Structure 1
Amino acid sequence: MDRVAFHNQRIKRVCDFINGHLDQNITLEQLSDIAACSKYHFHRIFKSFMGLSAIQFVLLARMKRASFRLAFEPEQSITDIAYEAHFESPEAFSRAFTRIFGQSPSQFRNQPEWQSWHSKYEFNPPINGERIVEVKVVDFNEKEVALIEHRGSPRRVLDTAAKFISWRKTTGLSPVKTSETFGIPYSDPNDTADDEFRFDICGTHKGAVPDNGYGVKAGLIPGGRCAVAQHKGSHDRIGDTVYYLYQQWLPESGEQLRDFPCFFQYLNFVHEVDEWELLTNVYLPLK
């Protein structure tokens, strides 16, 4: 193993540990031990790979969870969110949140600036050099859905998601607990101009969708053969699983693609579980 891959492996272990232990006290000494590296060198190695210190990474990981709590769990008080993020007081949390995101927690709760928020997370932890992904070929049943189209920057998809969540809550249609939730990207967000990007957010729903002020309408996800792989972890890295299907599995499988985009089924949600526990089925439609 070369030195870069060796350090990649160390940093990944540390990032995985942080994301899986946000509720615990995390120290630099502890992270150094996990990296099997002297604490005198660990922080420099981590920063050289990630562009920020390990302790800053811990803070941003907790703030990320707090952001989703604020935006999507209005029943959670800011005080509770502050203590969950390991702040000694709501005031200290508010100062730190405002310093990082340029909005106070209450401002963010009322009108989150997701585009600016995304800029604080423009770093990617290393991944394992060799990915092992289980892929199955299944018959996907046609789904009648209610959907909302997101048009524009991928960084603003969460604004559209919030509208869909509000529609679900206010109408009682397509309830999240008993309905399936899907996302359909019509192109690669990394290679598509903002004004050409489209992403549909869907929930299973039978029958007509009543007129509404949210822009939600009826739609259909067609049935047919699909390759499916489960992505575990942050939606920010879902492209890793998508690219695996296209670049490695598809050429080796001999299968041919159907004229419908790949799509995602969200098995849980970031305001319900920590990011590392997220489970998403990635479907690749086949002929």
Structure 2
Amino acid sequence: MTTKPSAQASRAEYARRINRVLNYIDAHLDQPLDGAQLADIANFSRFHFHRIFAAWMGETLGSYAQRRRLEKAAFRLSCGSHETVLETALATGFHSGEAFARAFKLKFGCTPSTWRSTTLQRLKMQASAIGQQPGNQESNPDQVFSNIHQEGEPALGESDVSYRLTETCAMDVRIVDLPKARVAYQRLIGPYGPAIGEFWRGTIAPWMHSNGLSDETCYGIGHDDPSLTPANKCRYDACVEVPAHFVASGQVDILALPGGRYAVASFKGKAEVLGNAWMWLTREWMPSSGLQCDDRPCFEMFSATTALDPHTGEFSCDICIPVRAL
């Protein structure tokens, strides 16, 4: 006799399957998406998949893919790379510059070129004010992550170049090769900010303890830009490195973080200025570095056991941005 899964276990399995589809879509935004293939990835009925996806996500598959393409394009345009508007369009799945421009203006109210010029000018003004006033993580134009970070323990190689974030907070940016990592993750969908810290404390930390993973390396991946993506649709993955024999269960799933070349910056400071650190790295340091972001995920890397300095209240982590040559 087959035992019927509980409602909680059933929802956890749905979440795992849909998350696999979202991960696949994000990794293939430059390609046509096949609904039947996505249904197979989720192991759902091909006939019912579109309805299941829309019910779970609150938007159709087509609307979701279009939104993510435009959000990714907007982020690429605002990063100060030498990529043309047409190259951005093709890299995010649009077949012509005209179709991209129409869709972009419909969503953001301006042309891609105007977006690029006005956003870069605004962010330069904001970056010049870093250190003069506290940052606001929820309005940060870059990916925003957890407020649990790592005490300085990078062991990632020699420093290639140093830049100063503010007079009181310096970050060394090193170009290093990071190894691949096999992680178990749980996803939080909703506004970035305090909820992420509570997610780590209330859900992830107890799970790590019960599975003997408290001393493992942690990663925080904010997949969405909160200045572009609706707050209730922002995705954050709390990840913990696990050995090859580890088997995920419940709402936990396995993800492979790709290795390769990363710009790694050591951050230490109050959590509320972390967003400014991300902004400085992507909007100020990156355009001057001779490098550009590629499509691997950005993340924060830290150890939960040494993340917080109990005496100063400061957080420490390594901010990791995947890079390639211009």
In 2 relative to 1, CA 177–38 (structure 1 residues): closer, same or farther, beyond 3 Å? farther
1:10 aligns with 2:17: yes
Q: Which runs of 5+ in 2 are unaligned?
A: 121-128, 145-158, 171-182, 215-268, 284-291, 312-326
Query: SS in structure 2 opposite 1:72?
Result: coil
Determine if contact 1:231/1:280 at 8 Å carries over to the other structure. Answer: no
**Corresponding position of 1:56:** 63
Match for residue 178 of structure 1 among 134, 143, 161? 161
1:280 aligns with 2:304: no
Give the TM-score of the pair, scaled to structure 1. 0.53
**Higher RCO, Cα 8 Å, sep 6+:** 2
Shift of 1:74: 4.3
The aligned length equals 191
Question: By how many angstroms is 1:75 displaced?
Answer: 1.4
**1:151 shift after superposition:** 5.2
Q: TM-score, normalised by structure 2?
A: 0.47
How far is the alpha carbon of 1:97 from its aligned partner?
0.8
Tell me which residue corresponds to 1:227: none
Which residue is 2:115 aligned to? 108
Partner residue in 2 for 1:243 = 198
> Is 1:26 aligned to 2:33, yes or no?
yes
Partner of 2:226: none
Are 1:231 and 1:279, in contact at CA under 8 Å, matched by a contact in 2?
A: no
Residue number in structure 2 paired with 1:90: 97
Offset of 1:70 from its aligned partner?
A: 0.8
Contact preservation (8 Å) 1:231, 1:281: no
Match of 2:106 among 91, 99, 111: 99
Which residues in structure 2 correspond to 1:57-206 (within 5 Å)? 57-112=64-119, 147-149=130-132, 154-158=137-141, 178-179=161-162, 204-205=163-164
- Residues in 1 aligned to 2:188 and 2:114: alpha-carbon distance in whole angstroms: 25
Distance 1:61 1:75, change over 3 A: same
Deviations 1:153-199 (A, max 9, x none): 6454229x9xxxxxxxxxxxxxx9723xxxxxxxxxxxxxxxxxxxx
C-alpha displacement at 1:23, in angstroms?
3.1
Matches within 5 A, 1:217-256: 217-220=166-169, 242-247=197-202, 249=205
Relative distance call for 1:220 and 1:89 in structure 2 (3 A) is: closer
- Deviations along 1:100-144, one digit per CA (max 9) or x if unpaired, are 22221112112249xxxxxxxxxxxxxxxxxxxxxxxxxxxxxxx
**Share of identical aligned residues, percent?**
26
Quote the Cα distance in structure 2 between the aligned partners of 1:231 and 1:73. 33
Q: 1:191-235 CA deviation, whole Å, 9 max, x = no partner?
A: xxxxxxxxxxxxx52xxxxxxxxxx841147xxxxxxxx999999
Q: Is the 8 A contact 2:138 2:193 kept in 1?
A: no
SS in 2 for 1:280: strand
CA drift at 1:241: 5.8
Partner of 1:129 in structure 2?
none
Measured at CA, do residues 246 and 149 of structure 1 come closer, stay the same or move farther in structure 2, by a change above 3 Å?
A: farther
Mapped contact 2:20–2:41 kept (Cα < 8 A): yes
Relative distance call for 1:156 and 1:5 in structure 2 (3 A) is: closer
Instruction: Report how far residue 148 of structure 1 moved.
Output: 3.8
Question: Deviations for 1:27-71, whole angstroms, at most 9, x for unmatched residues?
Answer: 111111111111221111111111111222222222222111111
Aligned equivalents of 1:178, 1:37: Cα separation in 2: 49
The residue that corresponds to 2:42 in the other structure is 35
The 3-state SS of whatever aligns with 2:29 is: coil
Q: Could you tell me how far apart the structure 1 residues matched to 2:78 and 2:130 are?
A: 20
SS of match in other structure, 1:22: coil
CA 1:67/1:234 → structure 2, altered by over 3 Å: closer, same or farther?
farther
